[in-house]
Chain A
Amino acid sequence: MYKDGYKSVFENYSGAQDNLISLLQHFQKQSGYISQECVQEVARFLKISENHIYGVASFYSQFTFQKPGKNHIKVCLGTACHVQDGQLLANEIRDLLGIQSGQVTADGFFDYQEVACLGCCAQAPVVEINGQIYARMTTTKLMKKLSEYE
């Protein structure tokens, strides 16, 4: 009926359209992105068109459609981080990795995202690497941190 790895997930859902975002979140977390196959299977389960699902998924910044990198870098560009020079951190990373927000380096080692706010405004500016938030970042500290991953 459904492809491997989907059926067991669908069993926990009612199949109403309300489930769509939760389902997409599940698969985004599981595989790091929303694949074409995932959209197909979810479409079959919820009985709505793949196009509609894509329309919903592409609205929300949480969902991505390409395979993520091995390591994930997020630079917070919330207001507090912005006024504390978060933009400079972003510039540094873009220069260093040679990619824009939402992209993955050619070698697949890093993916990079600029995010709206991580909610750690009192510790601004912050950078998140592989889920760990680093407070009061500076370009120098950031470069040092990243060099640990080379």
Chain B
Amino acid sequence: MPNTTRHLTIDGRPIEAENGMTILQAARRNGIYIPTLCDLPTLPPHGSCRLCIVEIEGWPKTPTACTTAVQEGMVVRTDTPRLRDMRSELLRLLLSEHPLSCLACTEKDHCDECMVTLRKAGVTTGCGSCPKDGQCEIQKLVEYIGLGEDLYPIRYRNVPVEHEDPFYDRDYNLCVLCGRCVRVCESLHFTGTLTYTNRGSRTLVGTAFGQSHLEAGCSFCGACVDVCPTGTLTEKVRKWDGVPEREIESTCVLCGLGCSLRLLAKKNKVIGSLPVEGHLCVKGRFGITELVSHPYRLASPQKTTDGRLMAVSWDEAIAAAVERLSSCPPGGFAMRVSADLCTEDLYVAQKFARVVMSTNQVTAVPQDAYGQGMNGIVRLLKKAAPLDVIEGADAILCLELDTRFAQSVLEADLLRARQRGAKLYTIHPDHHSLSLHADRWLQPAPGRTAEALASLARLMGSEAGGDAEEELLLLAGDLREAHNLVVLVGPEALYHPDSDTLLEAVEKLAQLTDASTIMPAAEGNLVGSLLAGAYPDLLPGGSAASDAGQRRQIGQLWGRSLPELAPLDEPSVLYLIGVQPSASGEASVIYQNIDQLLDGQHADMVLPTAAFSEVNGTVVNIEGRVLPLRRAVPPPGEALPSWQILCRIAQAMDVPGFDYASAEDIQAEMAELIAGYRPGAHLSMDTLTPAFQPPEPARDASKAAEYHHMYMGFPMTRRVEGLRALKR
């Protein structure tokens, strides 16, 4: 299409660009550098820093490359003496409001060796101890553009550094007002937390009435920190770690959405986690570093000797485990696993139970958490819509979904849809992140959400209004008008004791309105645990354990006949992977986890395992996508991936079928049972069977909130300092 291509020359190079592109975009695409400060490729042009000025033949002034569209035959120059002068002048103006001892210090060449000025000049004066030293974009610009002789007198803003919020500090004395943080906050949260305040030379970035970010409704997604070119916004935990050595792309397992992330590593330590595109929620952005590098991480196997846990070698530990397990009758073994583990771990774990211990008693945590709701969850998952249905929705109904902290990535999608014209409805007993934006907010009494939803479903089913509340009638009316309804079931809704009622209502509603459903569950690998068959009632692939045909088929693959479902006796050996031991119990406990036991907990054996940042493997998100985990750093000390520990025990017990050399080997075997299982695949979850037996004792509803923010059985608030502040 000839009329969409534009031909121009940049610095003498003939260049082709698409119509509508800016000069800056065209230059970047062709590897031509034009200095910028305010521009971010992911945001619309802003044109505030003016550093990207260029000369265009026949144009009287020097327009900015970021805001000028390419035109046919344009002759652009990006680096002339005149431009250099003007840029240098602009930079000097900028530096008159940005402490620059990092550039001007006479001792800076020796800074690394001697650190003589480390304490003399505080952080705020911005010498070499500025947290952004070496990563600061101003430093790079000065290197490219150069400064003239005379600098303008510094005007130090002298505003207090804002330390009070969790996760990041804000030192607006260093701010150059490029506006990236304001714009990124606005684009993700639609009139979010950060805004420009005042005007003229008193312009600053801040919140309403100078509130803390916590008070101002910030979701701590950290997007502002990611884009800050200076040391103004700095992550507390990472502040002094300097430049990362490696970046490893992996997947976040802290909820079921499975966001891609970049793990930043330096030596053998994860020092940060950043989004690949868009943003992460507070857990993924700020929780991971502290979680996986916590001082309580286990580094070696331990065994209880004379009532005390003592470090032992792996050989000793394996031998001790074998001893316990061999003497355990099939009915006396139970295994409990976390749904935060990768699918490979979960698959090997259930195989271990079924093959080595000849029992179906392997239970992933969600079964305890969701109880009656388990079958409803499976039914919803079978029909789960991909997240991008939100883009095409004309109405969205959220059930107890608070996107402020966890799942804040969904908020951007929801609000973007609303901006586009979709209606947003929310049902939630409390004030929450969506109540401000929602077109309608139905506020049932606490614990009555399921009831309200059931009434709504009834209303939708019958034409008669009956004596329903007005709000409910209005909402039903709105939903009837929707052509493309998406229902989102928030993770907290799933923990209610009456979640089965709620889920039934959701199903009915979806059926009546032909709605798509999305269920952003809290567990990182809920779907993986179901597909791997990490439940007594479910076999790998998701078929019912009661299905003899399936049992036979799997038995053939494994070379061992599978046990029939049998009730659990009082277990004599309890194998816990990523699960906390309960305080009481007579059983002998094998505790396999990343962190030490909590005070007062008891286990006979403690086996150190790897966190998700330390393994290769896969998880399956709530859409059914198989997402890769990549090893960013080695596990601490002698810790091993969970599947490897299980395999070593099985091998020591002479059980064949546990000789995998890598996660890929396990994936290959899983693919035989779970159709199409490989990293990157988008699986159909249709094979999942709602075969769960109702749990015996009713669940403890009070634990719900805890389940929500757990990793490997530990509440994240116990591991991540800042998350405690969010709990209020």
Contacts and interface: CB of A to CB of B under 8 A. Distances in A.
Q: Do chains A and B touch in the complex (CB under 8 A)?
A: yes
A44 to B, nearest CB: 7
Interface string A39-66: 1000110011111111110110000010
A36 interface: yes
B196 A59 contact: yes
B437 A58 contact: no
A52 B194 CA distance: 8
A36 B191 contact: no
B207 A51 contact: yes
Interface of B is mostly: loop
Interface in B160-201: 186, 189-199
Best-surrounded residue of A39, A52, A54 (most CB of chain B within 10 A):
A52
Contacts of A58: 197-199
B436 A44 contact: yes
B701 interface: no
B217 interface: yes
Contacts of A44: 436
A51 B199 contact: no
Contacts of A54: 195, 197, 207-209
A61 to B, nearest CB: 8
A60 B254 CA distance: 43
B207 A47 contact: no
B148 to A, nearest CB: 33
A55 B197 contact: yes
Q: State which size class the interface on A falls in.
A: 10 to 19
Contact of B208 (A39, A47, A59): A39
A49 B192 contact: yes
Contacts of A65: 209
Interface in B421-450: 436-437
A132 B490 CA distance: 59
Interface string A48-92: 111111111011000001000000000000000000000000000
A53 B437 CA distance: 14
Given A52-B195, A55-B197, A59-B199, A47 B209 contact: no
Nearest to B205: A55
Nearest to A65: B209
A42 to B, nearest CB: 11
A51 B437 contact: no
A49 B436 contact: yes
B199 A50 contact: no
B217 A51 contact: yes
Nearest to A46: B191
Contacts of B197: 54-55, 58
Given A54-B207, A54-B209, A59 B198 contact: yes
B217 A50 contact: yes
B216 interface: yes
Contacts of A36: 208-209
B198 A50 contact: no
Nearest to A59: B199
B208 A53 contact: yes
Contacts of B216: 49-51
A49 B207 CA distance: 10
Interface in A1-54: 36, 39, 43-44, 47-54
A49 B191 CA distance: 5
Contacts of B217: 49-51
Nearest to A36: B209
B493 to A, nearest CB: 24
A55 B179 CA distance: 13
Nearest to B213: A51
A134 B192 CA distance: 44
A47 B195 contact: no
Interface in B216-242: 216-217
Contacts of B196: 55, 59
A53 B192 CA distance: 10
B440 to A, nearest CB: 12
Given A36-B209, A43-B436, A65-B209, A51 B198 contact: no
Interface string B589-606: 000000000000000000
Interface in B697-718: none
Interface of B: 186, 189-199, 207-209, 216-217, 436-437
User: 7 tightest CB-CB pairs across the interface, nearest first?
Assistant: A55-B195, A54-B208, A52-B191, A48-B191, A50-B208, A49-B191, A51-B208
14 contacts: A39-B209, A44-B436, A47-B436, A48-B436, A49-B208, A50-B208, A50-B216, A51-B192, A51-B195, A51-B208, A51-B216, A52-B186, A52-B191, A59-B196
